[in-house]
């Protein structure tokens, strides 16, 4: 079968591999119909993910059809159309029981697919812990609508949840890329007073204005000023930082009101500084880290009910055999590209 595989730094290639076999009773084999390219795939390509294993098939967000299941799988069966979760988790350990599935203590727990074990930019993928890793897609939800449920919509949903957004809040999202936009869409589900989104890239703000007119777009340099002028409490009640630069990190806590929650979902290339003397008395709560992707079923239900739809983010679709070209476009950010899907 055809796969897109990581061989080493700056070395991703199309490769022919055999169709995976089930290894455990809790595994499922899924025929991939649509997968996506994520910024994390570019991080692997640039050698920034040390735990990525050379020779691994990349890709950690996809939809497909179950073709085989192990004896211990209860929730899915062959023929089911499913969304595949970015994270592999046992569902039973101390962390999983509390919803912290990113920290699942199973040896294959956390972000394994497309990093430590063969992922989804392939015709078939073996999914460990299939009962927690796969979610059946409701009939009225298309593959394209369901594609982002396993990773970036999961991230947006989790970020909005842990940010404790309440009715009447003013929320700032920093970064209008695909992840920031998913955070924005999920923030709206909490019915805050206003959702603002900022980015240095005007074309990304234009994209938001065109597709999601309820959001207020602004440049980062305007955000702190607007926080003081327009927010009832002289700062944003909730800030979600999804941009990942030194400037965006600083803006996240500067634009927040006293006692705000600042949620950092961005990945940084370098350590960031918390200038605690400058923050003294602001009494902020910081929440950081990687998604606990255990809400796929809620996300797919919201899509099915017409309350959530991120499919406009998928601006380009390529055949899996054109993966090199698709990656080149995704990395270049030209032609208004947001998310790129790969079709099998």
**Candidate list 118, 151, 170, 237; residue touching Zn ion; CB under 5 A:** 151
- Neighbour tally for 58: CB within 10 Å: 27
**Going by C-beta distance under 8 Å and a sequence separation of 6 or more, which residues neighbour residue 66?**
28, 29, 30, 31, 76, 77, 78, 79, 80, 82, 130, 134
CB nearer Zn ion, residue 20 or residue 119: 119
CA dist 177 and 242 (Å) reads: 8
| Size, binding site for Zn ion by CB under 5 A | 8
Min dist. Cβ of residue 39 to Zn ion (A): 7
Q: Which of residues 116-145 bind Zn ion (CB under 5 A)?
A: none
Min dist. Cβ of residue 109 to Zn ion (A): 5
CB nearer Zn ion, residue 27 or residue 151: 151
User: Is position 93 an interface residue for Zn ion (rule: CB under 5 A)?
Assistant: yes
**Candidate list 2, 22, 28, 38; residue touching Zn ion; CB under 5 A:** 38
**Candidate list 3, 5, 36, 40; residue touching Zn ion; CB under 5 A:** 40
Stretch that binds Zn ion, among 14-22, 29-37, 90-98, 311-319 (CB under 5 A): 90-98
User: Is position 295 an interface residue for Zn ion (rule: CB under 5 A)?
Assistant: no
Going through the chain in order, the beta strands assigned E by DSSP cover 2-8, 11-16, 28-37, 62-69, 81-84, 124-127, 134-136, 170-174, 194-198, 216-218, 236-241, 256-264, 285-288, 314-319, 339-343
**Candidate list 30, 84, 90, 185; residue touching Zn ion; CB under 5 A:** 90
Phi-psi region of 333 (alpha: psi -120 to 50; beta: other; left: phi over 0): left
User: Is position 267 an interface residue for Zn ion (rule: CB under 5 A)?
Assistant: no
- Neighbour tally for 47: CB within 10 Å: 13
CB nearer Zn ion, residue 93 or residue 337: 93
Structural contact between residues 156 and 260, judged by C-beta atoms closer than 8 angstroms: no
User: Is position 84 an interface residue for Zn ion (rule: CB under 5 A)?
Assistant: no
CB nearer Zn ion, residue 153 or residue 308: 153
CA dist 181 and 315 (Å) reads: 14
Is the torsion defined by CA of 231, 235, 241, 246 positive or negative?
positive
Min dist. Cβ of residue 213 to Zn ion (A): 27
Min dist. Cβ of residue 342 to Zn ion (A): 14
Q: Residue 137's closest CA among 123, 148, 122?
A: 148
**Candidate list 104, 197, 261, 294; residue touching Zn ion; CB under 5 A:** 104
**Going by C-beta distance under 8 Å and a sequence separation of 6 or more, which residues neighbour residue 269?**
48, 244
**Candidate list 96, 187, 243, 342; residue touching Zn ion; CB under 5 A:** 96
Stretch that binds Zn ion, among 94-102, 234-242, 286-294, 325-333 (CB under 5 A): 94-102
Min dist. Cβ of residue 133 to Zn ion (A): 12
Residues interacting with Zn ion, by CB under 5 A? 38, 40, 89-90, 93, 96, 104, 151
């Amino acid at each position: 079968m055809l796969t897109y595989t990581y061989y080493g730094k700056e070395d991703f290639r199309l490769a022919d591999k055999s169709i995976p076999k089930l290894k455990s009773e809790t595994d499922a084999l899924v025929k991939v119909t649509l997968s996506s390219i994520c910024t994390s795939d570019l991080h692997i390509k640039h050698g920034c993910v040390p735990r990525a294993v050379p020779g691994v098939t990349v890709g950690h967000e996809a939809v497909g059809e179950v073709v085989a299941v192990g004896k211990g799988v209860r929730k899915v069966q062959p023929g089911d159309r499913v969304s595949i979760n970015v994270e592999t988790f046992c569902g039973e350990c101390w962390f999983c029981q509390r919803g912290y599935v990113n920290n699942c203590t199973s040896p294959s727990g956390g972000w394994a697919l497309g990093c430590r074990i063969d992922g989804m930019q392939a015709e078939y993928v073996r999914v460990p812990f299939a009962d927690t890793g796969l979610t059946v897609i409701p009939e009225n939800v298309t593959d394209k609508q369901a594609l982002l449920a396993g990773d970036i919509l999961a991230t947006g949903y989790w970020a909005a949840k842990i940010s404790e957004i309440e009715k009447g809040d003013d929320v700032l999202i920093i970064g209008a890329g695909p992840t920031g936009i998913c955070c924005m869409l999920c923030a709206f589900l909490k019915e805050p007073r206003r959702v603002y989104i900022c980015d240095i890239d005007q074309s990304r703000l234009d994209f938001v204005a065109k597709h999601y007119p309820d959001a207020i777009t602004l440049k980062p340099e305007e955000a702190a000023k607007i926080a003081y002028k327009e927010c009832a409490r002289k700062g944003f009640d909730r800030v979600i930082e999804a941009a990942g630069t030194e400037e965006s990190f600083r803006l996240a806590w500067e634009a927040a009101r006293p006692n705000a929650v600042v949620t950092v979902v961005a990945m940084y290339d370098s350590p960031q500084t918390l200038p605690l003397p400058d923050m003294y008395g602001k009494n902020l709560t910081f929440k950081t880290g990687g998604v606990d992707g255990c809400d796929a079923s809620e996300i797919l239900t919201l899509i099915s009910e017409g309350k959530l739809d991120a499919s406009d983010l998928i601006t380009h679709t390529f055949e899996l055999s054109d993966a090199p070209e698709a990656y080149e476009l995704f990395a270049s950010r030209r032609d208004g590209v947001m998310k790129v899907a790969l079709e099998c």
